[in-house]
Amino acid sequence: MQFEELVDELARRMTDSSFISGTISQSRTKSDEVKRVKVKPIELKGHLHLQFEYQFERILQHENVPASEVHGKLSELLERYKQVHAEFADEKIHVQLSKKFKVMWKSDQIHSKKVVDLSHNRKKQYLLDDTTPYPFLIRLGVQSPDGKVKKQKYDKFRQINRFIEFIDDSLTHLPKDRTIRILDFGSGKSYLTFALYHYLRIEKGLDINVTGLDLKKEVIEECRQIAQDLNYDNLEFLVGDINDYNEETAVDMVVTLHACDVATDMALARAVRWGARVILSVPCCQHELFGQIQSPELQVLLKHGLIKERFSALATDSIRAELLSLVGYESQLLEFIDMEHTPKNILIRAYRTEKRHSTETIQQYKAFRDMLGAKPFLEKELLQSNHLFLSE
């Protein structure tokens, strides 16, 4: 069997009704950041897709590929990897590719035929089930006492679950031999603060200590009462400003949701100073760069106020993510869920890795910043605290 024949055969079989799951592994290059790729069939809007799950060292990324595009995706992957395991309803196969792409194919029959069922992919599987009553969701008015999610609160329920997915992904980066210290700046009504506490303490049984901080005294008092009613002993709420909070020397996770404009940068700078292992931030009202950008090359874009505002917000978050990477974090910009019909749907996720950055990376950041004529608040904060060095 030739390489092209292998791709044809796998594409054909993986898109018929017998395919259950597969794994593509053994990269041909040590520099490939994706360790392995898992594949499974899913149904989206009534059409067959293959979901490719890319497994990096610390994170997972998913790509849903329509059946008509699977051949090209497999061809691309099999040029990078040497091994394929695939399970079908009545057969398991193992494929090994040599350095010169010689194909070795081994097949084992399955005596008890399996049934491929895509139905489990039709309903979203939440980490918090939408039929189980949770005391904190009932107390916050998201669920009725019998566990039913209120119709008008279903978007909030989806947002809470999306947030918990990010928390769950972060577990491998948190300490396992001591109390985990978590700070939530700008906690507001604290739906997500309570969700975080419930998931880590009640569901996972972790030893945690969580503080929610907000400027609104009446909101904080209400949250304190709810925490007391739920017997959440290691969850406290304080009235305070991000810039004035100096009670910590080390924190494991910093969460900041919709802190306005440079308040987000203040929280990110604090997280870096404390050596936080995990940062989860949903920025809001990114006005800083709007008045700074002076770039003739971008004038076609910048002359439209609406477009300039959106571009400024995207550039601000891109700069934040890049700065975090320059001080030893693995950072990503991910899609969150809109809150109350606003476009605050980008989440900055950063894991501390201490990975050294290259001179080229610094130069790329400086070139982008200078093209915009920007003077980012976060850059100044990190330079002043001696966490960032741009002289290389």
Q: What does the pLDDT look like over 145-172, one tens digit per residue? A: 888 999 899 888 988 998 999 999 899 9
Three-class secondary structure of residue 141 per DSSP: coil
| Rounded Cα–Cα distance for residues 297 and 377 (Å) | 23
pLDDT confidence band for 61 (50 / 70 / 90): confident
Give the tokens for residue 287. Answer: 């006005």
Phi, psi of 336, rounded to the nearest 5 degrees:
-100, -155
Give, as one character, the DSSP assignment of residue 145.
Answer: T
Sheet holding 81-88, edge to edge: 60-66, 47-55, 36-44, 19-27, 81-88, 91-97, 103-109
**CA–CA separation, 185 and 214 (whole Å):** 7
pLDDT higher at 253 or 257: 253
Listed residue (212, 198, 187, 210) closest to 138, CA to CA: 198
- pLDDT above 50 for 339: no
Burial class (CB in 10 A: 0-12, 13-18, 19+), 223: buried
pLDDT at 246 over 60: yes
pTM score, whole prediction: 0.69
Check whether 322 has a pLDDT greater than 80: yes
Report the DSSP beta bridge partners of residue 213. 185, 238
Rounded Cα distance between 192 and 143, Å, is: 15
Tell me, what's the pLDDT at 132?
Answer: 86
Assess whether pLDDT exceeds 60 at residue 350.
Answer: yes
Instruction: Indicate the residue type of 170.
Output: S
DSSP secondary structure of 22-50:
EEEEEESSTT-S--EEEEEEEEETTEEEE
**Amino acid, res. 315:** A
Domain 135-384 class?
Answer: alpha beta
pLDDT score recorded for residue 128: 86
* CATH 3.40.50.150 placement within the chain: 135-384
40 neighbors 129 (Cβ within 8 angstroms):
no
**Full strand arrangement of the beta sheet holding 253-260:** 235-239, 208-214, 180-185, 253-260, 278-284, 346-352, 329-335
Minimal CA–CA distance to 283: which of 256, 305, 301?
256
pLDDT > 90? residue 97: yes
DSSP state string for 110-135: -SS------GGGTS---SS-TTS--H
> Does the structure show a pLDDT above 50 at 341?
no
Residue 195: C-alpha distances to residues 30, 37, 153, 164 (Å)? 39, 31, 15, 7
Residue 392 has pLDDT above 60, yes or no: no
Interatomic CA distance for residues 286 and 376, integer angstroms? 11
